[in-house]
């Protein structure tokens, strides 16, 4: 299903953020790949507010950014509830893409360092210089094995067709295999953090 952002953001972005809460509550296994920003599940309030502000301005939607950012952070409480696992992969470039100001990025990167130690979270970072079998693609999330949601500039595409869903699961496995984890991921995050000092 193709869902235009302008349609779901007509009244602002808070409702859109809140609309994900039931999906997050029932999903046991989250997978997400982010090519250009920090995964939404791991965004701090300040980072989310800066990002949502830019989106609101670009799309010309009503500005309810403080409420939308708060809702985005609140829906991420599933990270701490138990019964859920999170496999999140991001490109190294997203660590260096300045969203908000340097203070916002420092706080965001520090939070990512903490998140790498959460027992339910597997955070992988694909190093910029990696030899790749899988190219950078659009940001997408997979909820259990029943839905893939792909984020485009103008819309979200929600995929449930088994053959297409299988392609996203395969792409995620390929991207996951390119990433580094644990101490190696923290080294990349720390490197980006040092560049901001």
pLDDT at 1: 79
Query: In sequence order, what E strands does the chain have?
Result: 2-4, 29-34, 85-91, 121-126, 140-143, 147-151, 155-159
pTM of the predicted protein model: 0.95
pLDDT in tens, 138-164: 999 999 999 999 999 999 999 999 999
pLDDT-derived band at 10, boundaries 50, 70, 90: confident
pLDDT in tens, 18-57: 999 999 999 999 999 999 999 999 999 999 999 999 999 9
Q: Which domains does the chain show, CATH number per domain?
A: 2-195 (3.30.870.10)
Q: How many helices (H) and strands (E) does the chain have?
A: 9, 7
């Amino acid at each position: 299903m193709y869902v235009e952002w302008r349609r779901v953001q007509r009244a602002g972005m808070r409702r859109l953020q809140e609309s994900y809460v039931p999906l997050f509550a029932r999903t046991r296994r989250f997978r997400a790949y982010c090519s250009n920003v920090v995964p939404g599940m791991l965004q701090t309030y300040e980072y989310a507010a800066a990002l949502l502000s830019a989106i609101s301005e670009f799309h010309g939607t009503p500005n309810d950014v403080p409420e939308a950012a708060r809702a985005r952070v609140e829906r991420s409480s599933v990270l701490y509830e138990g019964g859920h696992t999170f496999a999140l992969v991001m490109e190294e470039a997203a660590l260096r893409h300045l969203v908000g100001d340097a203070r916002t990025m420092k706080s965001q990167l520090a939070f990512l360092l903490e998140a790498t130690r959460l027992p339910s979270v597997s955070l992988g970072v694909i190093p910029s210089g990696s030899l790749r079998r899988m190219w950078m693609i659009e940001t997408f999330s997979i909820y259990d094995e029943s839905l893939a949601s792909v984020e485009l500039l103008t819309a979200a595409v929600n995929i449930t067709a088994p053959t297409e869903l299988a392609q996203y699961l395969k792409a995620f496995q390929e991207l996951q295999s390119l990433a580094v984890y644990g101490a190696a991921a923290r080294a990349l995050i720390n490197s980006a953090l040092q560049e901001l000092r």
